[in-house]
A = this chain, B = another copy of it.
Amino acid sequence: MRKKVKAITIEKHCDGKVTVLSFARPEVRNALSWRMVTEFKAALNAIDKDNQCRAVVITGAGESFCAGLDLVDQGNRQSLSEAVGELGDGPRAGMRGQEYMAEMILLMRAIQQPIIAAVNGHAYGGGLGIALGCDIRMAAKSAKFCTQFIRLGVSGCDIGVSYTLPKLIGAARAHDMMMTARVIDVELAEQWGLVTYVVEDEQLEQQAIELAVSLCEFSPYGLISTKQGMWSNLDASSLAAAMQLENRNQILNGLGGDVEEAAAAFFEKRKANFDR
């Protein structure tokens, strides 16, 4: 029966423009079971195909965002094979499970909508990896952040964190977090740039939704091409190369009348309306 309980819940807001994806295993602090990873990836794929949806909020039911791997389920061979298929032993099997988990972050990056992390309580290990895979991070006062991985007998570099964390907040603090697995409370998280909004716990989901709604006031392709451009250009080989993408993005954005509407709204001192 357990399998029938969804590990992820989806809610629509603002006429379908905003999707709220909640981790729904509060009894285990939303720890990542193989099934939850599968549901999360399926949900992201569905959101990407939903052209009405313009922004996403990810949060955790109960008192945690996501406390990392579910250690009970992690070594359960049946759970794993339901996720990735039966692979027997050998290097291919272990790698496939590892990759299956890490691909969550690649998929978050790939969907067309920006994602706001609404972090309550623990964002540990894989949960931290997911928070860092979001485009913007808002935290409740209860939020706490920890790489955690190295405590589990493995490397502190996991689930994309060795790429995302130093780029997001600088390598000095990132390396300390990865190597010591120290816990960062919300005050330090804001000081270090891990989060750029801090709110009361009881207002977290509402504030995150309001931020998502505010993104929907921008032109749809402006928003999409911002997400794509900002991540793509983190890997640009030079300023000139980054501009090659920026410049073409802007021309594409000018093709559908959005620039004219924005300019008209500016001169008429009204809000632009891109929902034409």
Contacts and interface: CB of A to CB of B under 8 A. Distances in A.
Interface of A: 71, 74-75, 91, 94-95, 98-99, 102, 105-106, 109, 114, 135-137, 150-164, 166-176, 178-180, 191-196, 211, 214-215, 218-219, 222-223, 225-227, 229-230, 233-240, 242-243, 245-251, 253-254, 258-263, 266-267, 272, 274
Contacts of A156: 222, 226, 229-230
Most B CB contacts (10 A, CB to CB) among A75, A164, A176, A266 go to A176
10 contacts: A95-B248, A153-B274, A154-B254, A155-B222, A155-B225, A157-B229, A157-B249, A158-B250, A160-B246, A179-B227
A174 B234 CA distance: 11
Contacts of A172: 137, 168-169, 193-196
A136 B179 contact: yes
A60 to B, nearest CB: 20
A80 B184 CA distance: 46
A102 to B, nearest CB: 5
B243 A106 contact: yes
Given A71-B267, A157-B249, A176-B136, A152 B230 contact: no
Contact of A229 (B137, B162, B227, B235): B162
Contact of A193 (B173, B258, B262): B173
